[in-house]
C-alpha cells in the first residue's frame, strides 16, 4: 500500500497565496505574535483566562478574541495589558538612540592625498545628531 | 464551501469571486503565520468535538462567523477539514447540516487516527512534526 498522501496543488489557491503582499502577511503575523506574547504573559502571571478577565473587568469572550490573533488592538488596550502583565507592548520612547556602528565613505580624488585629508572640509560632512560614534576609512 | 448569510445558499452563487478570494486569503494568511509561529491553542476555538478528539475551529475574522474545523495535535500538526458559515440564529453546530457533516467527518477521522496509533500502525515522527505510517483512510469502509 502506498502510504504517501496525494498532493494536490490548486492553481486558484496558488494564485491567491502568491497575491498576498508581504505587508499584509506581516500584519497578520504581527497580530498573532502579539497574541502569543499576551497569552504567555497571562500564563506567566499565573492567571487563568477567566481569572484574568475578572481582574481587568472584561468578558471571558473578549479575552479569547484578544488571544485569537485576529484582534486589532487599540492603544488603550495595549497600555492596559502592558500595565497589568508587566510586559512591553508599546514603545513610545521619543529619544531613542540609533547606533550606527560603521560608516564607510569611499572618496576618489586626484587632487587630495589618499590619506590624512580633512574629510569634513572636503565634503562639508556634518555628523547627524543620532550618530554617536563613527569611523571613516579611505581605500 | 461558504454560505451566504441572507439566503443560506452557497456563497459562490450569491457573491462574486472577489469576496470568496478575500475569505480564502484571510484564512491563508493565518495558516501561513501559524506555520511560522506554531499552532498555539489560543488561535483555535477549542472543544468543537467530543472530549479528547482534538477537534477545534480556526478563529478567523471576528465578524465572519465562519467555522473551519481542524484536528490539532500539539503546536506542530494541524489537520484542516472543511467548514462553513454558522448563522447567529443557531447555537449548536448540529442545527446546520453542512457544519454537522464537516464536523462529524473529522470526529470519525480523529477516532480512526487514535485507533491506528493505538494499533501501532501510525505514530508521530520523532520530531513530532508529522505522522509516520499508514495515513490512507477510507472513512466509508467498514475496516
pLDDT at residue B124 is higher than 80: yes
The count of CB pairs under 8 A between chains A and B is 71
Q: What is the pLDDT of residue B69?
A: 94
Locate the DSSP E strands across B1-130: 44-45, 55-58, 66-73, 77-85, 122-124
Please provide the average confidence, as pLDDT, over all residues in chain A.
80
pLDDT (tens digit, 9 = 90+) per residue, A9-21?
778 778 778 888 9
Q: Residue B51 corresponds to which cell in the numbers above? A: 472530549
A1/B61 touch (CB, cutoff 8 Å), yes or no: no
pLDDT at residue B3 is higher than 60: no
Are residues A33 and A78 located together in one domain of the fold? yes
Into how many domains does chain A fold?
A: 2
B28/A1 touch (CB, cutoff 8 Å), yes or no: no
End position of a domain, from candidates A49, A64, A85: A85
B42/A13 touch (CB, cutoff 8 Å), yes or no: no
Residue of A nearest to B134 (CA): A3
Are residues A78 and A110 located together in one domain of the fold? no
Domain that holds residue A117: 93-139
pLDDT at residue B1 is higher than 60: no
User: Is pLDDT larger for residue A120 or for residue B50?
Assistant: B50
Report whether B86 contacts B49 (CB < 8 A).
no
In a domain, A119, yes or no: yes
* Interface contact B62, partner A, CB < 8 A: yes
- Chain B CB contacts of A1 below 8 Å: 134, 136
Q: How far apart are CA A6 and CA B88, in angstroms?
A: 37
- Chain B CB contacts of A68 below 8 Å: 42-43, 59, 62
Report whether B27 contacts B58 (CB < 8 A).
yes
Are residues A45 and A76 located together in one domain of the fold? yes
What ipTM was estimated for this complex? 0.78
CATH number of the domain where residue A30 is located: 1.10.260
Q: What is the pTM of this model?
A: 0.73
pLDDT (mean) for B109-136 = 92
H or E element in which residue B34 lies: helix B17-37
B29/A24 touch (CB, cutoff 8 Å), yes or no: yes
- Chain B CB contacts of A39 below 8 Å: 40, 42
Q: What percent of chain B has pLDDT over 90?
A: 53
Tell me how far CA of residue B22 lies from CA of A65, B7, B26, in angstroms: 21, 20, 6
Are residues A79 and A125 located together in one domain of the fold? no
Candidate from A1, A19, A69 with C-beta closest to B43:
A69
Are residues A71 and A109 located together in one domain of the fold? no
pLDDT (tens digit, 9 = 90+) per residue, A37-83?
999 999 999 999 999 999 999 999 999 999 999 999 999 999 999 99
Amino acid at each position: 500500500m502506498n502510504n504517501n498522501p496525494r498532493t494536490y496543488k490548486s492553481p486558484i489557491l496558488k494564485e491567491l497565496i502568491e497575491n498576498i503582499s508581504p505587508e499584509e502577511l506581516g500584519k497578520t503575523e504581527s497580530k498573532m505574535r502579539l497574541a502569543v506574547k499576551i497569552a504567555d504573559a497571562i500564563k506567566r502571571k499565573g492567571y487563568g483566562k477567566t481569572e484574568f478577565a475578572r481582574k481587568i473587568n472584561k468578558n471571558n469572550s473578549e479575552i479569547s478574541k484578544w488571544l485569537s490573533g485576529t484582534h486589532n488592538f487599540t492603544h488603550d488596550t495595549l497600555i492596559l495589558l502592558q500595565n497589568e502583565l508587566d510586559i512591553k507592548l508599546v514603545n513610545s520612547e521619543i529619544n531613542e538612540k540609533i547606533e550606527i556602528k560603521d560608516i564607510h565613505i569611499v572618496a576618489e580624488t586626484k587632487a587630495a592625498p589618499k590619506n590624512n585629508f580633512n574629510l569634513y572640509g572636503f565634503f562639508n560632512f556634518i555628523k547627524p545628531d543620532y550618530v554617536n560614534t563613527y569611523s571613516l576609512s579611505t581605500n | 464551501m461558504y454560505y451566504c448569510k441572507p439566503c443560506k445558499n452557497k456563497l459562490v452563487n450569491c457573491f462574486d469571486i472577489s469576496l470568496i478570494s478575500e475569505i480564502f486569503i484571510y484564512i491563508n494568511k493565518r495558516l501561513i503565520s501559524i506555520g511560522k509561529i506554531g499552532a498555539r491553542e489560543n488561535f483555535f476555538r477549542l472543544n468543537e468535538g467530543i472530549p479528547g478528539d482534538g477537534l477545534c475551529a480556526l478563529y478567523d475574522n471576528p465578524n465572519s462567523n465562519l467555522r473551519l474545523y481542524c484536528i490539532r495535535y500539539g503546536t506542530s500538526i494541524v489537520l484542516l477539514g472543511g467548514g462553513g458559515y454558522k448563522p447567529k440564529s443557531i447555537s449548536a453546530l448540529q442545527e446546520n447540516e453542512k457544519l454537522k457533516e464537516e464536523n462529524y467527518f473529522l470526529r470519525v477521522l480523529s477516532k480512526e487516527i487514535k485507533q491506528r496509533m493505538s494499533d501501532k500502525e501510525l505514530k508521530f515522527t520523532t520530531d513530532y512534526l508529522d505522522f509516520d505510517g499508514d495515513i490512507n483512510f477510507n472513512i466509508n469502509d467498514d475496516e
